[in-house]
Amino acid sequence: MHKLCKRPTTHCGVCRQSFHRLPQIRRPGRRESETNFDVRRKHLSASGKTVGEVHIYKCTLVAHDYLFFTTKGFRETSPSTYIGNYALIYAINRHIQTIQRNASGNKPFYEEDMGKVTLYATPATPSKTNIVRLGAETIRWTNQAIIYFTYNSVNTLSQTTEVTAENLPQIGKKAKHPPLNSFEFFVIGGEPSGIVRLGKKQVPCRIYSKRLSLESIGDGVFKPSHPVNPLDLESFKPANIQSGEIVLQTPPLLVNSAIRGKHYICRDGYTEYFIAKPDARKYASVNLP
């Protein structure tokens, strides 16, 4: 208390002088328990993780070269409309050296590596906007149709174009996404902005991110704002699928779906997004809300 006016005071940590402590100002019409920080604190404390900032981002990936990955093919290899989230997770977690391999053979290391990553990414869907960022500038560009490239491998010893004894593609076509085609996805755990190398062919891509505000965490039927990898969801069963379409790639994806499960409800100030919550046991190193 102040010696003269008896009002509450606080002290300067340097000179020890007393100052009047201002009363706490609250925003009218909004209870303290409804703030974003309290939502984060409640759910983080319940999960046993350190209370802190929640990092959920809406990201746009722009290809700076022909984007090529094989979803299916017999003489003609073509990519899917969607980018699987495992490829994105490897790309944005380039700071973790133990999951980066020059040659891993035919055996995937998903179960071993996913527990080490600190950034989780959802599968990506083609952007619907006609605006693409290039550095600090923006240009008008809509996603273009895939382009086919033919190839004809010649055996240098036999001078033939095919070796029938081996199941290796020698003649055919490859479909690739043109440069500047863009895709959208969500990232949890940190900001993945910058240049990344995507996929086995290490295609250079740039990621632009925008931080979202976490409004609440739900548990029930919702419509995800992104393609869903069912293998990433906790205790997911076919009965949890209310509706949707299955995209046959590795791993299969659910698009335009309505599913039952835990999810994040986020906003960017204009739009509301519903993001499926990944399995905390599978992604043990990601700081999930």
Q: What is the pLDDT of residues 53-86, one digit of tens each?
A: 779 999 999 999 999 877 766 667 778 899 999 9
Over pLDDT 70: what percentage of the chain? 73
Mean per-residue pLDDT, 231-247: 93
Who has greater pLDDT, 18 or 272?
A: 272
Who has greater pLDDT, 92 or 133?
A: 92
Task: Give, in order, the Cα–Cα distances in Å from 64 to each of 78, 132, 182, 203, 284.
Answer: 19, 12, 10, 8, 32
| The pLDDT of residue 182 | 96
Who has greater pLDDT, 138 or 193?
A: 138
Q: With a cut of 90, say whether residue 127 has pLDDT above it.
A: yes
| The pLDDT of residue 161 | 62
